[in-house]
Amino acid sequence: MSVMYAKAMDAVKKYNMLFKGAKIVVGVSGGADSIALLLFLCSLRAEYKIEIFAVHINHGIRGSEAYYDQKFVEDICLKLNVEFTVKQYDVKKISNENNQSEEETGRIIRYKEFENERIKRNADFIAVAHNMNDQAETIIMRICRGSGLTGLSGIRAVRGNIIRPLINCFRNDIEDYLKENNQTYRTDSTNFEEKYTRNRIRLKILPMLTKCINTSAIENIAKSALLLRQEDDFLNNMAKKSLYDITISKYKNSISINAYKLLEFDIVLQRRIVRLGLIELKKDIKDIYLKHVDFVLDIAKKGGHVDMPLGFKADMSCGELRLYNGVESVNDFFYELCIDKPVFLKECGMYIEISEKNEPKKYKYLYTKAFNYDKISANVIVRNRKNGDRIVVNNNGGYKKLKSLFIDKKIPKYERDHIPIITCDNEIISVPNIKDNPLFIYNKYNNDKVLYINMWRSTDD
């Protein structure tokens, strides 16, 4: 058994990368790493009963050389009985149009096409051929760019549906594996052009570190990345719990958090909480840097407004820090509630349930109240506000307009259409956490039949 095969199998098992019957899209450039990955996965077809689909991206940079790479990959896929797809792009033109490096443009295009193929094939995973040398190169590049702990955690073995079986293999392990299997591969001539940052690290810096500092430099850098990744995950879990605890409201394009409680945390957690809040709104926040997060924390202390890349904005008023992405419009919503059947209010970002039982739940209630079930003569409805809405505010039956109530409570205009209104037969029972109709409140001394209304935000959302 070759060294590369053993290390790759160890990674597959350690990180649960595969299951029997899985469908896998594999990025295959024709270079040593991707060809070794393709051979390795093909060697598992009998044991795991996996289906493999290869994708090759022609970047349109190297003319006839790129054509021969494409032809080489096509031939090896035919030989291995692997379905093959090729996509062609003019990376140089696209990078100029988007003011990006060719490296970054190529990376974005590759992952976009891998994901497109995964969806098309209804596949489970995307396999790419990053190895331990790539890991070391990435860490060095990020150190030079001033990355934080998350960046210095390096390339993860598994990220979402992306798997990297060769992540613990040296490049020498990969080349030896190909020799053992009498398998040739293509060499990209641009790998030797020092105009690319990663190439300069690969060709000059890593060899110097290995020769002059420590012969195990590559392996030790990868070990450091693993340790940092474990600590990064620990801090992230703390930040997720903290964000949940201090969240006031969460909608599709906005999240509001208690600024005073945010500032009670250590600065390390403050920054992570803000970043996680932005990730709640948009998964990819690659262009949000430390300075943008610190701008947000600054207004959390002093008040004000800040604009950020990707359309993100932040406002601070009345102790509430609001992060949002663009302008959010809210459609009218209307849900009929049934006993013991939780309903997710997507417009409000929370769950609601009516029940005759008051049982403890695993989640934290945002609102819970007991009402007089005997006075509820029709179905319980939850909806957003309407023009002319009013609620009884005292035991004498006195009313107040919701608009006036919101103004008195200093509820921001952007929040008002998200607020759930609980009604019965067109009578407002409650505006949760703002005002309950006293005529519907349960009184244990009157032998009333009780109905509980509970609202919560799942920690899994």
DSSP state of 362: S
- CB count within 10 Å of CB 274 equals 25
CATH fold of 251-325 reads 3.30.465
**pLDDT at 382 exceeding the cut of 90:** yes
**pLDDT at 252 exceeding the cut of 90:** no
- The predicted model gives 234-247 an average pLDDT of 94
pLDDT in tens, 428-440: 999 999 999 999 9
Quickly state the pLDDT bin for 360 (edges 50, 70, 90).
low
**Three-state SS sequence of 261-305:** HHCCCCHHHHHHHHHHHHHHHCCCCCCCCHHHHHHHHHHHHHCEE
Instruction: Please give the pLDDT value at position 327.
Output: 57
In the chain, ranges of CATH 3.30.465.60 domains: 251-325
Instruction: Please give the pLDDT value at position 425.
Output: 87
Instruction: Please give the pLDDT value at position 72.
Output: 94
Q: What is the mean pLDDT of the chain?
A: 90
**pLDDT at 228 exceeding the cut of 80:** yes
CATH of domain 3-228: 3.40.50.620
Instruction: Please give the pLDDT value at position 328.
Output: 56
| Per-residue exposure over 14-35, b if at least 16 CB sit within 10 Å of its own CB, e if not | ebebbeeebebbbbbbbbbbbb
Quickly state the pLDDT bin for 64 (edges 50, 70, 90).
confident
Of residues 283 and 353, the one with the higher pLDDT is: 353
Instruction: Please give the pLDDT value at position 215.
Output: 93
Give the position of tokens 């798997």: 163
First CA to last CA across the chain, in angstroms?
A: 44
**pLDDT at 149 exceeding the cut of 80:** yes
Quickly state the pLDDT bin for 461 (edges 50, 70, 90).
very low
